[in-house]
Structure 1
Amino acid sequence: MLFVTVPSPQAKEKLQATIDNYLREKIVLAAEAISKSAFEKINDNDVILVYGCSSLVNRTLCDAHTQTDRTFRVIVVDSRPRLEGRETLRRLVRHGIHCTYVMINAISYVLPEVSKVLLGAHALLANGSVMSRVGTSQIALVSKAYNVPVLVCCETYKFCERVQTDSFVSNELDDPDDLIVQRKGQAQLGGWAENNSLRLLNLVYDVTPPDLVDLVITDLGMIPCTSVPVVLRVKNVDQQ
């Protein structure tokens, strides 16, 4: 807490120290703890499916490859229009990890050989739902149909008291023009904005129900989605 009587230079130093301490504890050290916990879930000859680009998931896989003698293969699933999976693919291949790259419409073809799914999260809601990059819920749903365990890596600072059951009540809208595919310099939906009967919806996130997630790996350990309210209560007590 900063009081009005504190001189400005000292207040700035204290504020900077508080921010640095938060970043170190809640992000840097949390990522290390999650990476170490995830080691226990990666077995020899595993085939791990990842989606998009999660810095936490990428670090976990790279650490598992360099710090253990386990051999595993990664299937990187990507989707348009952002194609973030390409960055994941570059990072993993740079570390010498064997990878396969597919688009999201092909997951039903690769899931029979997958041993586990490892996903990142934008937020973990109070009802246990996982808010993440759009397409995550589709992957979790298909994985459930194939009896493939879905593991979510998420720091506890992303735990949120908000409750949400769908992707339409609250979401972030991206540029609809990003959905337009250009081939040979021509856009197939050129001039779509002039058509009153056509609208392009480019959602950034979706919400995955808790029953589609088997385990959440956090800096406090491995917990089910139903334990989110408990973690939130503990955080509120610590902040008082």
Structure 2
Amino acid sequence: MIGAEIIAMLSQDFIFDGCTILVHGFSRVVLEALRTAVENKKVFRVLCTEGRPDRSGLRVSNELGKLDVPVKLLIDSAVAYSMDEVDMVLVGADGVVESGGIINMMGTYQIALVAKAMNKPMYVAAESYKFARLYPLDQKDMVPALRPIDFGVPIPSKVEVETSARDYTPPQYLTLLFTDLGVLSPSVVSDELIQLYL
């Protein structure tokens, strides 16, 4: 089995009938986990953030629609408003860092904060090749994307626009990571990194 299939299989113990899952950003591994749940005849619904600025949530909602999964598309700022409907959050990761935290699409950190405040589990699905010996101390350690963002209206030249596309979610806001190495707590990630890089 390839990494995404292993992760999808491991995640099935956590996806239960009747649950509502919040997803943010486009992740092949998250989609594979949800596809596997459909194949296992699990009945669930998904709340999908729009995912500005690239609107990756529209792509995710289209993919889920093809699988006949009930989907509700949210504007990004409606996460706190909708969190009481959610049983769990499931996101991918661009990177899993040495602290056990993740680097992912902008907005992941604030979703994690809301989930923690409302006692909702925050799960991450990521292959072990995304484990990196990085240790960002805060959000400003992230490299900005420096790409233009289309707001749909002209922006005056004197207005500064935040162009970062990724944020860092510290490990204390994550519940578990589903990986091809197994289901890991954030605190175990540094041990796994030591094994990978020995």
Is the pair's TM-score, using the shorter chain for normalization, greater than 0.5? yes
The residue that corresponds to 2:68 in the other structure is 96
Q: How far does residue 165 in structure 1 lie from its aligned partner after superposition?
A: 2.3
Percent identity of equivalent pairs: 29
The residue that corresponds to 2:188 in the other structure is 227
Which residues in structure 2 correspond to 1:89-238 (within 5 Å)? 89-176=61-148, 178-182=149-153, 187=154, 189=155, 191-192=156-157, 195=158, 198-237=159-198
Structure 2 regions of 5+ residues with no counterpart? none
| AA of the residue aligned to 2:151 | I
RMSD: 1.3
The question of whether the paired residues in 2 share the 8 Å contact of 1:78 and 1:103 is answered with yes
Q: What TM-score does the superposition give when structure 2 sets the normalisation length?
A: 0.95
> Which of the pair has more CA radius of gyration?
1
| AA of the residue aligned to 1:44 | D
Q: What TM-score does the superposition give when structure 1 sets the normalisation length?
A: 0.79
| Other structure's SS at 1:168 match | helix
Equivalent-residue separation in structure 1 for 2:79 and 2:182 (angstroms): 29
Q: Which residue of 9, 12, 19 maps to 1:46?
A: 19
**Per-residue CA shift, 1:103-143, capped at 9, x if unaligned?**
11111221111111001101011111210001000000001
Extract structure 1 runs of 4+ deviating beyond 4 A. none
Bigger RCO of structures 1 and 2 (CA < 8 A, at least 6 apart): 2
Equivalent-residue separation in structure 2 for 1:127 and 1:97 (angstroms): 34
Structure 1 regions of 5+ residues with no counterpart? 1-27
Q: How far does residue 153 in structure 1 lie from its aligned partner after superposition?
A: 0.5
| AA of the residue aligned to 1:224 | S
